[in-house]
Amino acid sequence: MVRWVILMCLLVSIVEASFERSNVFNVKNYDAIANGKNDDSKAFLNAWSDACKFGESATVEVPIGIYMLNPIVFTGPCKSPITFLLKGTLIAPTNNPSTDTSWINFRYLNDLKVTGGGILDGQGASTWGRQNNAHPVLMVSFFFNKQKLL
């Protein structure tokens, strides 16, 4: 009987630990494909949305991989500080599908930290060698609008 009670207590503690909320929002858990061809913007926005609503410091994690992002806006204000942890490579589309002039835009945020040593590939080489009037609109890689950065 005592063994059974100990076993049940152990099982309950393991189950409770597995249901603890994590403050890391990995874009792969939001169906980012990371093949450099498919648009992963929706996965990034969903991870950002959950991190922004989280009640404590949160991290949006971009693990190693190649992620294609169309112009994207990460908007606040958020409940707590956010870290954008970039370990992978973000690539812009070779043809800007919109009239946006910024590729990755952070707006209305306080306590944002961007870190991780990842790579931003704005695909600038796709315009090299074109005639002056044939250049597509080139985008700024990161744009920070109305926020306090860490």
How many CA atoms, within 13 angstroms, populate the side-chain half-sphere of residue 66? 10
Cα–Cα nearest to 50, from 30, 72, 70, 71: 30
Per-residue model confidence (pLDDT) at position 20: 54
What is the rounded CA–CA span in Å between residue 104 and residue 123?
Answer: 14
Entry field: residues in the chain? 150
Measure the CA–CA gap between 49 and 68, rounded to whole angstroms.
19
**Residue 19 falls in which region: left (phi positive, over 0), alpha (psi -120 to 50) or beta:** alpha
pLDDT at 18: 44
pLDDT of res. 17: 46
CB 52 within 8 A of CB 81: no
| Nearest Cα to Cα of residue 78 among 103, 113, 102 | 113
Query: What are the backbone dihedrals phi and psi of residue 114, each rounded to the nearest 5 degrees, phi first?
Result: -110, 120
pLDDT score of 15: 47
pLDDT at residue 116 in the model: 94
Return d(Cα 131, Cα 99) in angstroms, integer: 20
| Ordered domains of the chain (ranges, CATH) | 22-124+134-149 (2.160.20.10)
Q: Does pTM surpass 0.95?
A: no
Question: 3-class SS at 58?
Answer: strand
What per-residue confidence (pLDDT) applies to 102?
78
- Digitized pLDDT (tens) for each residue of the chain, 150 residues in all: 656 555 554 555 554 444 456 899 999 999 999 999 999 999 999 999 999 999 899 999 999 999 999 989 999 999 999 999 999 999 988 776 566 667 888 899 888 999 999 999 888 776 565 555 555 555 556 656 655 555
pLDDT of residue 81: 95
What pLDDT shows up at residue 21?
64
